[in-house]
Amino acid sequence: MEAISSKHLITSLFIIIASSFTAQSARKVSERPYQEASIVFIRTSCSSTTYPTLCYSSLVKHADLIQTNRMVLTGTALNVTLASAKSTAAMMLALGKRQGLKPREVAAMKDCVEELRDSVDELRRSIDEMSHLRTSNFEMTMSDVQTWVSAALTDESTCSDGFQETATGATNIKSTVRGEVVQIAQLTSNALALINQLANSHG
């Protein structure tokens, strides 16, 4: 008798667990249509950027926010780029103070931090401009945003080029920093492509 009731207990436990799994997967399925639309939208929008894989991986995390809104997609791309530029500038500032760097490398690092800071300012300005985007000022605002983001891209390229020219030695730091800056420039280039898409979508 006791054996039977514990068997029953196990069976009912199993049923409870199984049905909670079913409920969970049912919820996932019902969430899917809108999420899938967002994922398709992000992938399609990214496909015309220069670095589509990076574009997709940096934005798909924010699919819930982006949904299928081109303006939010573009704003998110700028925010992601700004966050990345800020953290790299901070990292470089810390690395530049480390021992064992040659004077030329310290100088390159300093220049680079300056250029990154300029690009952070320019990205901030473009994000601020985007927040004032209206139908009435659309063309002028988009044109300003394009200008700021292009300037940010130029500063980042100057930084990564400057790094390439410095002497050998401290190679790990150099390639780490350069890799980070190159990625920021790629994120910026993608954001610019999305900005151009947004600008063209209105015309």
Ligand X SMILES: *[C@@H]1O[C@H](CO)[C@@H](O)[C@H](O)[C@H]1NC(C)=O
Q: Which residues are at the interface with ligand X (CB under 6 A)?
A: 72, 75-76, 79, 127, 131
**Cβ(60)–Cβ(42) below 8 Å:** yes
CB of 70 to ligand X, least distance (A): 11
CB of 24 to ligand X, least distance (A): 29
Between 75 and 96, name the residue whose CB sits nearer to ligand X.
75
**Tokens encoding 141:** 């605002």
CB of 107 to ligand X, least distance (A): 33
For tokens 């390439």, what's the residue?
Answer: 164
Between 45 and 158, name the residue whose CB sits nearer to ligand X.
45
Comparing C-alpha atoms, which of 84, 46, 51, 49 is closest to residue 63?
Answer: 46
CB of 124 to ligand X, least distance (A): 8
Between 59 and 170, name the residue whose CB sits nearer to ligand X.
59
Q: Could you give the CA distance from residue 137 to residue 166 in angstroms, rounded to a whole number?
A: 44
Q: Could you give the CA distance from residue 89 to residue 203 in angstroms, rounded to a whole number?
A: 37
Between 79 and 197, name the residue whose CB sits nearer to ligand X.
79
